[in-house]
Amino acid sequence: MASDRILRHKGIDRLFHWITAAAVLILLATGLLPVLGVDFDWLPIHWVAGIVLIVVILFHIGRSLFSQSVRSMLIGPRDLGALASDLGLGSSTVKEGKYLAAQRLMHHVIALFTLIAIGTGAVMLVKIDTPFWKRQPYWLQESTWGIVYSFHDLAALAFVTLIMLHIYFALRPEKIFYTRSMISGWMTRQDYLDHHDPALWPADEKKEQN
Amino acid sequence: MSLFRVSTDVYGQETLKGLSWDLLWPFFGVAVAIIVIHLVVSWLRPSGRRKA
């Protein structure tokens, strides 16, 4: 008899998601609260959380390239029709593969700003003293540092918008089973059949699905 | 509303310091606007009202 539960996210992927979420929230809080007038020693927390984020993102990139299906994350023009359905605004439900078009689009936008944030953040690490290295403030010209800071700030500001939207859609009643699957790992067979095309995401091979 | 933070050095030259933090509220506002529009459209749609 078929199981009522479909494995959607392995434990390692759920762990990655929640470590990333915690790191991003810590980075936003430590980066933006001082801007809002909350004064505290934010820099040590910020750079440690930044290094954690860099490590888990490198892990995720490696795992995605070598042991997961990159194809399941591709997005193309034919996915545009599915977006309205994904957002609950279509006239009918479009059944998709493992990841909905809206989920893939959100992933790619978040990935873009994450790469900008950790790329510029990694460069900015040379400007601070840590137990592991001494600061090199003159490594770049002052005007070049300004460009690096601007891209870092842009990523931080974009994250304010993106995280708010991500949490909003994650808490929508019709999408809450995806959030539950990011906690428990599974979704019900009924939700799977209602929202996914078994030809595009075969549940019978769930143990091999990444 | 300025787009950039700049400082002035001892020679009077302006140096880029990053994006202006005044932009925080527009980015916050865009998210709020999208959420409100989605809530309203979802509620106005017949299928959305049935689920609510």
Q: Which residue of B has its CA nearest to A149?
A: B18
The complex scores an ipTM of 0.86
Q: Do the Cβ atoms of B18 and A157 come within 8 Å?
A: no
Chain B residue numbers touching A162 (CB-CB < 8 A): 31
* Beta strand pairing call for A5-7 and A186-188: antiparallel
In whole angstroms, give the CA distance from residue B36 to residue A24: 24
Chain A residue numbers touching B34 (CB-CB < 8 A): 165
Q: Which domain holds residue A163?
A: 13-199
pLDDT tens for each residue of A70-128? 888 988 887 887 887 787 777 677 889 999 999 999 999 999 999 999 999 999 999 99
Local confidence band at B5 (pLDDT 50, 70, 90 cut-offs): very high
Q: Which residue of A has its CA nearest to B45?
A: A89
Which 106-145 residues of chain A touch chain B by CB within 8 A?
142-143
Instruction: Determine the pLDDT at residue A76.
Output: 83
pTM of the full predicted structure? 0.89
> Residue A116: what residue type?
I
pLDDT tens for each residue of A137-196? 888 898 899 999 999 999 999 999 999 999 999 999 999 999 999 999 999 999 999 999
- pLDDT beyond 50 at A134: yes
In a domain, residue A83? The reply is: yes
In whole angstroms, give the CA distance from residue A134 to residue A142: 18
Q: What is the CATH number of the domain that holds A146?
A: 1.20.950.20
Instruction: Determine the pLDDT at residue A22.
Output: 98
> Residue A101: what residue type?
A
Instruction: Determine the pLDDT at residue A137.
Output: 83
In a domain, residue A3? The reply is: no
- pLDDT beyond 70 at A209: no
Instruction: Determine the pLDDT at residue A85.
Output: 78
Q: How far is CA B5 from the centre of its chain?
A: 17
Closest Cα in chain A, distance from residue B21 (Å): 7
Give yes or no for a contact between A152 and A121, defined as CB atoms under 8 angstroms apart.
Answer: yes
pLDDT tens for each residue of A28-77? 999 999 999 999 999 999 999 999 999 999 999 999 999 888 888 988 88
Q: Give the side-chain half-sphere CA count within 13 A for A193.
A: 8
Instruction: Determine the pLDDT at residue B51.
Output: 45
Instruction: Determine the pLDDT at residue A69.
Output: 81
Chain B residue numbers touching A35 (CB-CB < 8 A): 21, 24
Beta strands per DSSP E along chain A: 5-7, 186-188
Instruction: Determine the pLDDT at residue A204.
Output: 54
Q: What is the mean pLDDT of residues B8-37?
A: 94
Instruction: Determine the pLDDT at residue A208.
Output: 43
Instruction: Determine the pLDDT at residue A149.
Output: 97
Q: Do the Cβ atoms of A157 and B32 come within 8 Å?
A: no
Q: Look at chain A and report how many structural domains it folds into.
A: 1
- pLDDT beyond 50 at A8: yes
Chain B residue numbers touching A173 (CB-CB < 8 A): 51
Instruction: Determine the pLDDT at residue A92.
Output: 72
Among A149, A177, A194, pick the best mutation site for testing chain B contact (most B Cβ within 10 A). Answer: A149
Closest Cα in chain A, distance from residue B42 (Å): 7
In a domain, residue A132? The reply is: yes
Q: Do the Cβ atoms of A165 and B31 come within 8 Å?
A: yes
In whole angstroms, give the CA distance from residue B3 to residue A71: 38
Which 33-52 residues of chain B touch chain A by CB within 8 A?
34-35, 38, 41-42, 45, 48, 51
In whole angstroms, give the CA distance from residue A107 to residue A23: 16
